[in-house]
Amino acid sequence: MRSQALRADLLMLLTAMIWGSAFVAQRLGMDSIGPLLYSGLRFALAVLILLPLLPLLERRSRSTPTAPLNRHLLLGGGLMGLALALGINLQQVGLLFTSVTNAGFITGLYVIIVPLLGLLLGHKTGLGIWLGASLAVVGMFLLSVGEGFQVASGDWLQLAGALVWAVHVLLVGVFARRHDPLRLAVVQFATCALISLLLALIFEDIRLDAIIAAGPAILYGGLFGVAIGFTLQVVAQKHAIASHAAIILSLEAVFAAIAGAWLLGEALHLRGYFGCALMLAGMLLAQLWPKNPSQLLTETAANADAGRRPDQPRVEL
């Protein structure tokens, strides 16, 4: 069991590194093409990669195959894909007006927003969420609020994206209990690609030479950021320990900051780094704070309904 847990930890660490560095690819891809076209092409590439691998991935995850054209599966995947398209394009456009570091940390706030939105659905929220949210708010103030109490437009877009990501997580929680998560993921990726490409046709200039110039960024974003990152996540989830997953996957924001500094030469003032530290601490506190017995009972029942062990993390697709 220890070796399996260690393997899962290493796979999740690699996933966090890939996702964090993908922010750089998202930023560089827009040097040649528009944000909508970049999103559409990289998710379309991910679908083309995952479709032939679907039978193998289903065997590895021991998921129950679902009819590929099941009406309810297509509806669920379509709704998830709609939220995914909105969230990823808010993030993508926001990267035009803010740094990779800011984008990584502000996007990570969805781990706190999810349980807060759960209040609207009648879910209970523990002390850890409120303490974590408080730390994150102070951290975002230090990171994003400049002179004259102004916030960069890109940071507002990233925050709006984090809200959408939180809604997306709630949708995953609903539909992944009823349908095969692997097939749902492919449907939502295809929906996101279709919506993004249609919007790109309407609002952006599309040229073949520009697409070729953005090819490396599209390849990294689609192959590594979506297809490989998603696959590693599914494989690691089988033997992941919840407390480990909470810490390791939150490091995506840290890896985004490291990649931004190393590859793009981005740098923050000391105040900004302190803000990032508070935001990361808030995210971890919200995930790792001990839960009361009633919360644990609710989560255990939810995990049983979804076919997961109680000690497995819910890792979003």
**Considering its fold, how many domains does the chain have in total?**
1
User: Does residue 77 form part of some domain?
Assistant: yes
Who has greater pLDDT, 44 or 65? 44
55 versus 273: which is more confidently predicted?
A: 273
One-character DSSP codes across 95-131: TTSS-HHHHHHHHTTHHHHHHHHHGGGT----HHHHH
> Is the residue at 233 inside a domain?
yes
Q: Which residue from 91, 76, 84 is spatially nearest to 168, judged by alpha carbons? A: 84
Asked if 37 and 206 count as a contact pair (C-beta separation under 8 A), the reply is yes
Residue labelled with tokens 């924001």: 253
Question: Which residues, in sequence order, are CB contacts of 239 under 8 Å at separation 6+?
Answer: 1, 4, 5, 7, 8
Distances (CA, A) of 104 to 5, 65, 108, 119, 253: 26, 34, 6, 25, 5
Average pLDDT over residues 54-63: 65
Domain assignment of residue 213, yes or no: yes
Q: Please determine, for residue 237, whether its predicted confidence score (pLDDT) is greater than 70.
A: no
Taking a C-beta distance cutoff of 8 angstroms, is the pair 165, 108 a contact?
Answer: no
Alpha-carbon 240 to chain mean position: 18
Q: What SS3 state is found at 151?
A: strand
User: Quick one: pLDDT at residue 306?
Assistant: 37
- With respect to residue 315, please indicate whether it lies within any of the assigned structural domains: no
Q: Give this prediction's pTM.
A: 0.81
Q: What's the mean pLDDT in 23-29?
A: 94
Burial 291-306 (b: 16+ CB within 10 A, else e): eeeebeeeeeeebeee
In a domain, 194, yes or no: yes
Helix ranges (H only) for the chain are 2-29, 35-61, 71-94, 100-107, 110-118, 127-144, 153-175, 181-203, 208-213, 215-219, 229-237, 242-250, 252-264, 270-288, 293-306
Question: Does residue 101 fall inside a structural domain?
Answer: yes
pLDDT value at residue 24: 94
The verdict on residue 87 lying in a domain is: yes
Q: How far apart are CA 251 and CA 269, in angstroms?
A: 20
Beta bridge partners, 145, equal: 151
Domain that holds residue 62: 2-306
pLDDT in tens, 137-193: 888 888 887 766 678 889 999 999 999 988 988 887 788 777 777 788 889 999 999
d(CA 224, CA 5): 23
Dig out the tokens for 97 from the structure.
């007006």
State how far Cα 122 lies from the chain centre.
24
Token pair 């400049």 in the structure block, residue = 146
Site of tokens 């030479």: 209
Which tokens belong to 210? 């520009």
With respect to residue 317, please indicate whether it lies within any of the assigned structural domains.
Answer: no
Lowest mean pLDDT among 138-147, 220-229, 260-269, 304-313: 304-313
